[in-house]
Amino acid sequence: MTKNNLPTMHNVGIVVESLDDAISFFTELGLKLEGRAMVEDEWAGRVTGLGSQNVEIAMMVTPDGHSRLEISRFLTPPTISDHRMAPVNALGYLRVMFTVDDLDEVLSRLSKHGAQLVGEVVQYENVYRLCYIRGIEGILIGLAEELGNNS
């Protein structure tokens, strides 16, 4: 139950072609696999409006336990569009942003999984170093390293 009936974020969902590759990528980023399951009951299709569906999902959780990423691979019905390579100013386009301790180190690790910078690493005042990357399957991911004030 939420306080004062205010919503809390449960998870962000991403649809992928390879669940195993996505789990590996987000594990390298520091998330932990919380669970993996097949969702194929009739209730799920009623929620999504897709009717009969067969979806394999993996729930990843951030190290602090506060945020989750639901990764889905649709077996049926098949995916119908692909927004992964849309630019950051595309209407309705989503990205996920993670705070990391050492941006350069994380970029080095993720590049071994095919991640590529979208633009460049920039510093915003003395607050953040930021960048966007195209991660697994071209998914847009933001990375932010907080600067100073770590006391």
The token pair that represents 49 in the structure block: 């409006």
In a domain, 82, yes or no: no
CATH number at residue 7: 3.10.180.10
Contact 128/147 with Cβ under 8 angstroms? yes
In a domain, 9, yes or no: yes
User: In this structure, is residue 66 part of a structural domain?
Assistant: yes
Identify whether 83 is part of a domain.
Answer: no
Domain count, the chain: 2
Residue 100 lies in a domain: yes
Same domain, 16 and 64: yes
Same domain (yes/no): 17, 63? yes
Confidence of residue 151 (pLDDT cuts 50, 70, 90): very low
pLDDT of 142:
93
| pLDDT for residue 73 | 94
Look at residue 149 in the predicted model and tell me its pLDDT. 60
8 and 67, same domain (yes or no): yes
pLDDT at 79 over 50: yes
Q: Which residue segment(s) compose the domain that 39 sits in?
A: 3-76
The answer to the question of residue 91 being in a domain is no
- Residue 81 falls inside a structural domain: no
Q: Which residues of 26-52 are buried (b: 16+ CB within 10 A; e: fewer)?
A: bebbebeeeeeeebeeeebbeeeeeee
- What's the average model confidence in pLDDT over 13-25? 94
Residues 15 and 69 reside in one and the same domain: yes
**Helix H or strand E segment including 111:** helix 103-111
pTM: 0.86
Residues 72 and 113 in one domain: no
